[in-house]
Amino acid sequence: MKKNAIFSSLFAGLIACNAYAADVIGVRAGGLADAVGADTTVQVLKVTGILDASDFAFIADKMPNIRQLDISGCSIVAYSSKALPFSGLRNSAQAQLPPYSFIGMTNLESVILPQTLTSIGTGAFAGAGIRSIMIPDGVVSIADYVFMRCEALESVVFPASLEQLGLRTFANCTSLHSVFFDSGNSLARLPYGTFEGCTSLKELNLDVLAQCSEIGPWSLAHCYSLTEVAVPPAVRTLGRGAMLDDNAVRNLILSHGIETFEEYSLAGLKRVSTLSLPASVTFFATGAMADWMSLSNFNVSALTDIPELGDAVWQGIDPSAVTLVVADDIADCFSETSQWQDFKIVKHSDYIASTTDMESKLADAPYITVKVDGDVLFIQSEGTGLGTVSIFNTSGLRVALTEAGAEKSAEIDISSMPGGAYLIVTSASGVAKIVLFK
């Protein structure tokens, strides 16, 4: 192909290129192959004009070396014709990135999409080498498997227009660390396997999904780098295995209206030490909270009825080491109900320290000193022995307990405790101090 060559035909406009880059101007639907010609080795391609599914099939089948593709100046028209090579696709919609457009293109690092796009078809980027993607404003739906196994993909931004995600959209995107949802979207659910196996995912702002009512099965499973999850406010159901083995999570904030935890939905959250349930909870299925190894405080005092349970909901936990804070008027019911009765049950009125009591203890704070070194809290008494040492969070719930007796010093492992303010209370000397762990 000659530099700055001009092609005039029914299908193609002008193409200016060199061995590695090309600009294709004014292409007509189905005409990209003619515009590019025999030289399919370009690595940087910018196209303006009109494209259809046959043009994307040409790129996927004949241009494996492309690293950067800019189709922001294109509009995409519907396709309905013979089966296309590589994908076998026969139909695609207007303003849709056709299904399987860039599937398996491991050299493709970036794509700038048209602003007129309204949907992205099945498997469009599956297995591609893209590193980041900005979904244009106006995209309403993203189909199944669109970014599955894009192992170099690091970040994605969704527009406010988004209403629907397909199955396993980002499954096994092992480098994905940042997902940002624009507020105002109408996404109704996270479907099956949305982010399953995104082992590097750290930033995920689910809390802005105001209309999301379900976290689907396996949708956040095996996300080993997540440390905090705020369940969207309208969520009523956590699906089977929804957050299975998210073992770095330390802080889990549940929606105020959540009702159902399906099988193994929260199993394997080994670092969460405290959890509070809203009054709306009605059911925990089998293994829903299995293997919560760090759980020490479980506050269910907002409940007015005892939720139904499947089998072995808390398998792998020693419930006798977990304080279950319950409403005073149904404490006896918890004590008589299978699985619940295995916890260390404490009435709400006996557990929450009063504000007056806290303030009086703070006045005596100079009698103890505290120091944090890594994951260990060191406590030293300047007077008598420490006795029982308790750590309370800002909600007044005890999150750690140790018996120091006559000893004037104690060490407490705080590795499972999220950052924040805490109150240290020693029974023997009656003193306390607030500490901020970072």
pLDDT for the residue 16: 41
> Is 37 contained in some domain?
no
- Judgement on whether residues 171 and 316 belong to the same structural domain of the protein: yes
Contact status, residue 140 vs residue 158, Cβ threshold 8 Å: no
Final residue belonging to a domain, choices 350, 378, 400: 350
pLDDT for the residue 358: 45
**Beta strand pairing status for 132-134 and 91-92?**
unpaired
Q: Under 8 Å CB-to-CB from 353, ≥6 apart: which residues? A: 392, 396, 423, 425
> Is 264 contained in some domain?
yes
> Could you report how far apart the first and last alpha carbons of the chain are, in Å?
61
Residue 354 has pLDDT above 50, yes or no: no
Q: Per the structure, how many domains does the chain have?
A: 2
The three-state secondary structure class of 366 is: helix
- Match 């995600």 to its residue by tokens: 165
**Beta strand pairing status for 21-27 and 164-165?**
unpaired
> Is 422 contained in some domain?
yes
- Judgement on whether residues 177 and 310 belong to the same structural domain of the protein: yes
The better pLDDT of the pair 386, 365 is held by 386
- Judgement on whether residues 238 and 218 belong to the same structural domain of the protein: yes
Final residue belonging to a domain, choices 350, 373, 388: 350
What tokens does 345 get?
A: 């049950």
Reported pTM: 0.77
pLDDT digits (tens, 9 = 90+) for 389-400: 888 776 566 777
- H/E stretch holding 76 reads strand 68-76
DSSP bridge partners of 51: 76
Burial class (CB in 10 A: 0-12, 13-18, 19+), 224: middle
CATH number at residue 361: 2.60.40.3080
- Judgement on whether residues 279 and 413 belong to the same structural domain of the protein: no
pLDDT digits (tens, 9 = 90+) for 191-242: 999 999 999 999 999 999 999 999 999 999 999 999 999 999 999 999 999 9
Helices H, strands E: what count in the chain?
Answer: 5, 34
The three-state secondary structure class of 421 is: strand
pLDDT digits (tens, 9 = 90+) for 288-338: 999 999 998 899 999 999 999 999 999 999 999 899 999 999 999 999 999
- Match 């780098």 to its residue by tokens: 225
pLDDT for the residue 11: 31
pLDDT for the residue 87: 82
- Judgement on whether residues 345 and 368 belong to the same structural domain of the protein: no
Distance between CA atoms of residues 316 and 95, nearest Å: 51
> Is 62 contained in some domain?
no
- Judgement on whether residues 201 and 124 belong to the same structural domain of the protein: yes
* Residue range of the domain that includes 335: 92-106+115-350
DSSP bridge partners of 49: 27, 74
- Judgement on whether residues 297 and 329 belong to the same structural domain of the protein: yes
Residue 120 has pLDDT above 70, yes or no: yes
- H/E stretch holding 16 reads strand 14-17
- Judgement on whether residues 311 and 378 belong to the same structural domain of the protein: no
φ and ψ at 60, to 5 degrees? -65, -35
DSSP bridge partners of 405: 387
Contact status, residue 92 vs residue 52, Cβ threshold 8 Å: yes
Q: Give the pLDDT band of residue 45 (cuts 50, 70, 90).
A: very high
> Is 244 contained in some domain?
yes
- Judgement on whether residues 299 and 393 belong to the same structural domain of the protein: no
- Judgement on whether residues 312 and 419 belong to the same structural domain of the protein: no
- Judgement on whether residues 332 and 411 belong to the same structural domain of the protein: no
Distance between CA atoms of residues 268 and 168, nearest Å: 21
